[in-house]
Amino acid sequence: MPHPDGPVVLAIDLRHNGWQSAYATIDGRPEPLQSGAVVNQEPGRVVARLGRVVERARRRFGARLRAVSVAVAATVQGSRVVQFDKFAWEDVDLAGIVSGGLPVLVGNDATLAGVAEARRGAGSTTRTSLYLTVMVGVGGILVVDGVPVVGATGAAGEFGHLPFSDPSLQCPSCGARGCWDLEVDGRALARLLGEPAPPDPYHYTIDVIAAAPGNAAARAAVARVASALGRGVAGLVNAYDPEMVTLGGLGPPLVAAAEGEFEGSYRQGLMAFRRELPPPVVTAVYREDGALRGAIELALDLVLCETGLNSWLAQQGPASRPEGRRRA
């Protein structure tokens, strides 16, 4: 059990419709704090609101608060949100939510959920795992020895923008053509059903999956989308060679609704030598709070490294150091 006076980290999960926060001590277990809706998406207002969340945590925990980690459903480079489609943000720096030298980390939500899954979830028995989540499009990350492979600038894992789709389709999010996103979420289902693009692809997908057992058109559309998902997963397995694929978001219900189509396209897309023992595709453990948990993990990495621990011990004074306790 962690010491009640030990270091604390704060995690914030920012999404298109709201935010939630949690704190954790060194055991890494999230303890809920505040949550709320995003009423005004203007960057300055959102940054100010999150800053108040940090200040409230500071008042509660004082100097025990050692780091802040933010998960964002957006493309991230360093502390900057470079593309947040739902907010129409470009190049917004979230470092401004903290002051006084408190470290702040910012990461993509799917990347951080993948870290949680690899360290403490379904992928915890593997060294190399691939995490994928289907929400509005596809996100994810490759995690090796518990560390996310985030690329040169931190923006890796945008798997939904791989050109696995029809090149005649232009992605409304990134501007590229043929993005995999357009084959595997509610926009694909609507297109297959001859309906306009839904304003809320996430809940549209849930509704179509629910209708599929009694509706032939919905069932066929779900099968097509599940097949496209399986084919893309195979491509990523061929590229990255993971021991396991963990699937979050709407991925598991899509697979469950059309398991044969998913499995068939997954195996057919694999290189021949992989087909006898393909990497298993399993349901993620942390379906709801994976991003918060991953944000906590990376914040604790910062706090519990040698530099972080030395800083903590220096703050506690000589009596907290092993040699100080021996002399006492």
pLDDT digits (tens, 9 = 90+) for 223-256: 999 999 999 999 999 999 999 999 999 999 999 9
Flag the least confident range among 55-64, 128-137, 190-199, 304-313: 304-313
Whether residues 294 and 157 fall in one domain: no
270-295 residue pLDDT tens? 999 999 999 999 999 998 899 999 99
Whether residues 177 and 204 fall in one domain: yes
Whether residues 311 and 276 fall in one domain: no
Q: Do residues 231 and 261 make contact, with C-beta atoms less than 8 angstroms apart?
A: no
- pLDDT given at position 326: 38
Whether residues 38 and 63 fall in one domain: yes
Whether residues 279 and 293 fall in one domain: no
Residue 321: CATH number of its domain: 3.30.420.40
| 1 domain-assigned | no
**Strands (DSSP E) along 95-198, which ranges?**
104-108, 128-135, 137-144, 147-148
115-167 residue pLDDT tens? 999 999 999 999 999 999 998 889 999 999 999 998 988 888 999 999 998 89
Whether residues 294 and 279 fall in one domain: no
- pLDDT given at position 314: 85
Whether residues 141 and 279 fall in one domain: yes
Whether residues 136 and 249 fall in one domain: yes
Whether residues 261 and 148 fall in one domain: yes
Residue 260's pLDDT band (cuts 50, 70, 90): very high
Domain with 130, as residue range(s), is 122-283
- pLDDT given at position 318: 60
Mean of the pLDDT values across residues 28-41? 90
pLDDT higher than threshold 80 for residue 327:
no
Domain count, the chain: 2
Whether residues 159 and 209 fall in one domain: yes
Distance CA 109, CA 289 (A): 10
| 116 domain-assigned | no
Residue 202, judged by CB atoms within 10 A of its CB (0-12, 13-18, 19+), counts as: middle
- Within 10 A of 273 (CB to CB), how many other CB atoms are there? 7
- pLDDT given at position 264: 97
Mean of the pLDDT values across residues 208-212? 97
| 2 domain-assigned | no
Distance CA 114, CA 143 (A): 7
